Amino acid sequence: DQQVKQNSPSLSVQEGRISILNCDYTNSMFDYFLWYKKYPAEGPTFLISISSIKDKNEDGRFTVFLNKSAKHLSLHIVPSQPGDSAVYFCAALSANFGNEKLTFGTGTRLTIIP
Amino acid sequence: NAGVTQTPKFQVLKTGQSMTLQCAQDMNHNSMYWYRQDPGMGLRLIYYSASEGTTDKGEVPNGYNVSRLNKREFSLRLESAAPSQTSVYFCASSARAGNQPQHFGDGTRLSIL
């Protein structure tokens, strides 16, 4: 039972354009969401997070949007740069319900085309 | 500026052999975690330690044991390795359990023949 789903295994975007990565979840108890970026042969690196009390969080070129009614979140990268080429993981947890364990999606491989 | 350090980086074992994967963090974090990553399955939590002296099972604990040796170190042991345990193993730490970002090591690639 995949509680966090990233339905697009891969995405290609032209340099300078917007990259939009999507994530859906099924567990209504999730109240905190994170995005991680992973390069080959390295560990995941934290990018940005959002609490369920918000619907948007922005950090430089990265913005995460949360739609609780649709159980959907997305990561927007504007403008996309070659260094953004990596695998992106969405993750979720239920901080307020005592579930301290992160549940990860399966990842989306983003390729930025120069 | 080491962060989370995992050793070894690569290992090949034969079925039935035992092995301990080591993890150390220098960020004074309270919580530490072990994950495995398999193709097409994302990262799955094996065990975690919310604070020194405590350990709890994650999603896929069978076949593994852990030791939180002190605040810095959290080891993962395979007592009798099986081919199904071939995977990339990641250790992570966070300031505390819950809504705190986790910082990951670079992984241990383990093959069981």
pLDDT digits (tens, 9 = 90+) for B25-47: 999 999 999 999 998 888 999 99
Give the gyration radius of chain B's Cα atoms. Answer: 13
Q: In the predicted model, is pLDDT for residue A62 greater than 70?
A: yes
A61 close to A76: Cβ distance less than 8 angstroms: no
Residues of chain B with pLDDT > 90, as a percent, come to 83
pLDDT at B39: 85
Inform me whether the C-beta atom of residue A46 falls under 8 Å from chain B C-beta atoms. yes
Q: What is the dihedral of CA A80, A84, A88, A94, to 10 degrees?
A: -80
CB contact under 8 A, A46 and B103: yes
pLDDT digits (tens, 9 = 90+) for B64-111: 999 998 999 999 999 999 999 999 999 999 988 777 889 999 999 999
Distance in angstroms (rounded) separating the CA atoms of residues A81 and B87: 31
Confidence band for A98, pLDDT divided at 50, 70 and 90: low
Which of A52, A88, A102 has the most B C-beta neighbours within 10 Å, making it the best mutation to test the interface with B?
A102
Q: In the predicted model, is pLDDT for residue B14 greater than 70?
A: yes
Q: What angle do CA B88, A48, A50 make, to 5 degrees?
A: 115
Q: In the predicted model, is pLDDT for residue A91 greater than 70?
A: yes
CB contact under 8 A, A41 and B107: yes
Q: In the predicted model, is pLDDT for residue A95 greater than 80?
A: no
Confidence band for B12, pLDDT divided at 50, 70 and 90: very high
Residues of A in contact with B48 (CB under 8 A): 100-101
pLDDT at B42: 87
The chain-wide mean pLDDT, for chain B, equals 93
